[in-house]
Amino acid sequence: MKAVIFNKKGSPEKLIYCEVDKPVPNDNEVLIKVHAVAANAADYRSMKMGIIPKRKIFGADIAGSVEFVGKNITNYKPGDEVMGDLSSFGFGGFAEYVTAPEKALIIKPAKILFEEGATLPMAASTALQALRDKGIIQKGQKVLIIGSSGGVGTFAVQLAKYFDAEVTGVCSSKNVQQTSSLGADYVIDYTKENFTNSDMRYNLILAINGNYPLSAYKKVLTPNGIYVMIGGSLSQIFKSLLFGWLMSFGSKKMRSLSAKANKNDLEFLAKLLEEGKIKPVIDQRYSLDKTADAMSYLSEGHSHGKVVIIME
C-alpha cells in the first residue's frame, strides 16, 4: 500500500511518501481502508518531540470502510463505514489501510461524508471536553474563545452556542467573518484590540492559541470563572502546566486539558453533525502524496479550520 513514513533524514518535513506492507489485523482488530484522515497538532508536535509511532506512520483521525475483521470482533463487519481516533493506538492514518481495535471506532452516520467524519475525533472532542468537562459551561455564560478560527476553535464556537452561551471569539482580521458565521456573538480582532485591556469579564475562557500571560487571563475572568488551556505555543502550555495550579487558589480556576479519545463523545458529536447543529470547517484538502505539505501548512499555525488528506 501507499503510506507516508516518518524518516528523520527525509525531506520535506521528514515525511516520505512510499510503498510499504499492508498491515495485518490481529484477532482483536479491524482492517480499515482509509478514505480521509485529518492532520492535527498532535502529529507535528509528536514529531518535534521525537515521539514516533511504532510503524512510523502518523495520522490519528480517520474515516473509512472496514475491509476485514479479526475473529474476536463483534461490533463491525466488512463494508461498515467507520470513523475514530487512533492516537492511543499507534496512529497509522497517513496510509491507504490501517488496523485498529474496535474500541477506537464508531459507525459513521450515512449522512456524514468521509472527509467530514475525519475532522471530528480529535478537534471536536477537545472542544467538547474543554467546554463541558473542564469548563463546566452553563447556559447564558459569557465564553471567550482565543483562537476561534482553527480546527478546535471552529468547533468550540459552535458547541458553546449549542450550550446556549454568549460567545466571543478572538482571531485575526482574515477570520473575523468566519467566526461570526459560526455563531459567535462578538469577535475580537487581536491585531486591532487586546482583550486583556478590556473591562469585559468572562465566566469561561478557552485558550487554544495565543501567548498571553496567565495573569492577564485571570484578570478578565469573573469571580468563580474558569480558564482552560488546550493549546497555544509550547511556552504557553508549559506555563499553564507549571503555574496554573498555583494561580487557582481562590475563586478563579486555571485548568489545562489533555483530551482523551472517548467513543460516547464522538457518537454525540457525530449526531450533532448529522443533525446540522455543528459543521466542520475544512480549510485545505490534500492528496496522500502531499501529506508533508499539509503538515507544513498546519504547523505554521494559521489554518482557518481543519486540514484533511483525501485518498483517491
Are β-strands 306-310 and 29-39 bridged in parallel, bridged antiparallel, or unpaired?
antiparallel
Q: What is the pLDDT of residues 244-298, one digit of tens each?
A: 555 666 688 888 888 899 999 999 999 999 999 999 999 999 999 999 999 999 9
- Reference 205, options 238, 156, 268; nearest CA is 156
Is pLDDT of 236 > 90? no
- Reference 39, options 150, 148, 130; nearest CA is 150
Between CA 130 and CA 197 the distance in angstroms is: 25
Q: What is the pLDDT of residues 19-33, one digit of tens each?
A: 999 999 999 999 999
Cβ neighbour number for residue 135 with a 10 Å cutoff: 27
State percent of the chain over pLDDT 70.
92
Rounded average pLDDT over 215-225: 93
Q: Model confidence at 303, in pLDDT bands (50, 70, 90)? A: confident
Q: What pLDDT is stored for residue 245 in this prediction? A: 55
Helix (H, G, I), strand (E, B) or coil at 296: helix
Distance of CA 217 to the CA centre of its chain: 22
**Torsion angle (degrees, nearest 10) of CA 194, 195, 196, 199:** 120
Between CA 281 and CA 184 the distance in angstroms is: 15
Q: Which domains does the chain have, with CATH numbers?
A: 2-108+281-310 (3.90.180.10), 123-256 (3.40.50.720)
User: Exposed, middle or buried by CB within 10 Å (0-12, 13-18, 19+), for 258?
Assistant: exposed
Q: What is the mean pLDDT of the chain?
A: 92
Rounded average pLDDT over 76-104: 97
For the CA atoms of the chain, what is the radius of gyration?
A: 20
Residue 150, C-alpha cell as written in the block: 482553527
Q: Model confidence at 233, in pLDDT bands (50, 70, 90)? A: low
Rounded average pLDDT over 114-127: 97
Distance of CA 56 to the CA centre of its chain: 21
**Torsion angle (degrees, nearest 10) of CA 194, 195, 199, 204:** -170
